[in-house]
């Protein structure tokens, strides 16, 4: 989604960063993403905040969010609020940074099972992790 234009020897970037937020928990977990907050940090300075506090993303569903146009995104911070079937609310967060000298264009944040800690856990439900990666 990046378009580098050269005008009079100056490179300008027209970039939009797309962020995918996904619920990658198995259907049997009965976990829904009920809110998302995102903060885009621009390389040239400044931030842009967006999200949706009233979601209901069940297993396998995803939603896309976008930065403002004409800014180079250096970092994306994501907070996901999720609800378990018993009504308990949890919050998980993470950051994805662009490579040095690059603009973030496609980023993905997903909640997924943390299998390595689920067995032998005294928690009534398996633990979750936030997976942040370039989409």
Domains and CATH numbers, the chain: 3-134 (2.60.40)
Closest CA to 77 of 125, 17, 121: 17
Closest CA to 28 of 57, 61, 59: 59
* pLDDT at residue 7 tops 70: no
Percent of the chain whose pLDDT exceeds 90: 61
Predicted local distance difference test score (pLDDT) of residue 76: 96
Question: Whole-model pTM?
Answer: 0.80
Predicted local distance difference test score (pLDDT) of residue 123: 46
The confidence band for 95, taking pLDDT boundaries of 50, 70 and 90, is: very high
Of 13-27, 44-58, 121-135, which gets the smallest average pLDDT? 121-135
What's the average model confidence in pLDDT over 61-66? Answer: 97
Q: Mean pLDDT score of the chain, rounded to an integer? A: 83
* pLDDT at residue 3 tops 60: no
What are 97's two structure tokens?
A: 């940074």
> Nearest 5 degrees, angle CA 21-CA 22-CA 24?
155
* pLDDT at residue 1 tops 90: no
Q: How far apart are CA 100 and CA 89, in angstroms?
A: 36
Q: How far apart are CA 67 and CA 77, in angstroms?
A: 12
């Amino acid at each position: 989604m990046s378009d580098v234009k050269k005008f009079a020897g100056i490179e300008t970037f027209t970039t939009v960063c797309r962020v995918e937020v996904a619920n990658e928990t198995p259907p049997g977990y009965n976990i829904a993403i009920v809110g998302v907050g995102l903060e885009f940090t621009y390389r040239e300075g400044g931030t842009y905040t967006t999200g949706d506090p009233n979601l209901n993303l069940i297993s396998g569903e995803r939603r896309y969010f976008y930065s403002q146009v004409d800014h180079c995104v250096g970092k994306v911070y994501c907070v996901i609020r999720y609800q378990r079937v018993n009504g308990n609310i949890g919050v998980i967060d993470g950051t994805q940074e662009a490579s040095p000298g690059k603009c973030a264009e496609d980023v993905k944040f997903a909640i997924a099972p943390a299998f390595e800690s689920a067995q032998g856990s005294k928690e009534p439900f398996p633990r979750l992790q936030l997976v942040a990666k370039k989409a």
